[in-house]
Amino acid sequence: MTGWVHKKSEHLGKMNKRFLVMNPDEGTLIHYSSKEDYPNKPRGVIPLKRITQVKSKKGGLFNKTLFYFQV
């Protein structure tokens, strides 16, 4: 699975757009600054076992269902 996410900055709370790749075979989420950086310039790898919570919420942009996860 691949797609865009908005990642909340730790320091200023700013929302940064990132390209995310989920690899269930390796159990990882890999994020990139842009789609052009995939697959050679990852910014970070998050083991799926570190995700502590997933929530969905209807609303937001174009009334789509949004998913939130906490690491």
User: By C-alpha distance, which of 22, 27, 15 is closest to 42?
Assistant: 22
pLDDT reported for residue 44: 92
pLDDT reported for residue 5: 82
Peptide bond into 39 cis (omega under 30): yes
pLDDT reported for residue 62: 58
pLDDT reported for residue 22: 87
Q: Could you say which residues of the chain have pLDDT below 50?
A: none
Q: Could you please state the CATH topology (level 3) that the domain comprising 2-70 is classified under.
A: PH-domain like (2.30.29)
